[in-house]
Structure 1
């Protein structure tokens, strides 16, 4: 882990830099000067370059196009010689972006740290500057290559973090999910940070008592290329609903990638434990193991967005690529 000496700061908007508007808090420019003042007051000695990524957004408006733009800006900065990246981002979808970038930037030789704030930098008692300055300090001390999330004094794995609280400063954590999977010996061809991606039609659907085949069919009819089905417990679902099973099986035959994750915060999908799990997975669902929703969605996006065929996506979805599935 090398200490970062030439930092690239990418500002995407979010609460950290918001200012009051007639409609409430809204993303605002001019954050570079505010950040420079804080770093100077802290006595931070560091070469750094700041870039706004237009349009500045509330992260509730995050889309796949924003992920692609962030990834492209980061790769370009690293190719210019920056040896570390700090990405300033809103908290609502911070964990989703950290997970997506973990897979979009596979093999990037420098660390990328995402952070944000629960309160704007101008508010009394805000966590904005402690989070920003803490992330900068961590990068100066040395962070391993890969994507990380820094919040409330903790450096978290980018593909393991989730937002658990909407008002407290310790909003993010790594869920205690069981992680056992085969590790990829190397980054698969066509999946590293140089790979061009395109948007993908993805959907997430939690199972619930009373879910009907028609609900799932309507979602699939929207042109979904990949569906993350959030199952109960260790991967169970309504295995006595033949119509539902038939809908999933037909979608898989059409080329839709189907993945199964657990709704439980500490869940882990396992095949063969319950008959209800086995029958559901037999429709073509690929177990997500202990991946979080954010990680599973980001991984599907990176694999399908790279143009991989259904069987290739299913193969690599079940293999640990960056620590998302294995310790």
Structure 2
């Protein structure tokens, strides 16, 4: 398999900077991954099964430095998940575009209208009825996290859905506070009964937490891992919610452990891969949470402050829909 990527300098050890494990995984996938067809039709190089570990002590946060990661967009998305919202309107009102491609693609296919992203988002913001019809993603992440559906019998063979389902996040906080030794500190997005109604089934699907020595460690299992575009957001977001939970439960942050299933790079990301692998990481980004709200659901974007983050330039690449 031909590749233009360079090897990591032999005198740099993996432990010198947290980001080397990400870059090494990117190099492994691009140079040794299996070339496969995929749902999007773009094609990928993939490996199956990978792990990265990130120390969260001392306000450390796994923000990549070999390209800019727009962490505020990831934080706004996390706050949106915690509301249980499934419509893109609140995101696009904040200038967050990461979920727009899926409803935009559905709108174009359904109507045949030639419309660009900016015009579509402008209509989403301006027209509540249009947003309700075309901006909803189905029961994606936040719906499952805070309102997992529960059905109750109303007659023989008849069931109805409760107005409020299971709030997995609220139950997790209570469990961490009152039963820290439990092995059930989990929240889950993979609701098999509702996958076909989701614009995109959950990629970062299962989160589990572990308390020991007064520290909270989070583990994320991600079934599908767009290593170039998605994973940098996902590891930041998983670290962020681990930090938020630790604060709410009077614990210190421990580690974030990221486990990937199908870890892939799209074939049309060659420029990104070769550019990023030619760079070396530097710096030690920190995340300060400047306020402790009353609950996990009351954080605001202003509560997060990233310090010591001086990344190299953003690298543009297309999203496979």
**What TM-score results when the alignment is normalised by the length of structure 2?**
0.24
> Which protein is richer in helix relative to its size?
2
TM-score with structure 1 setting the length = 0.24
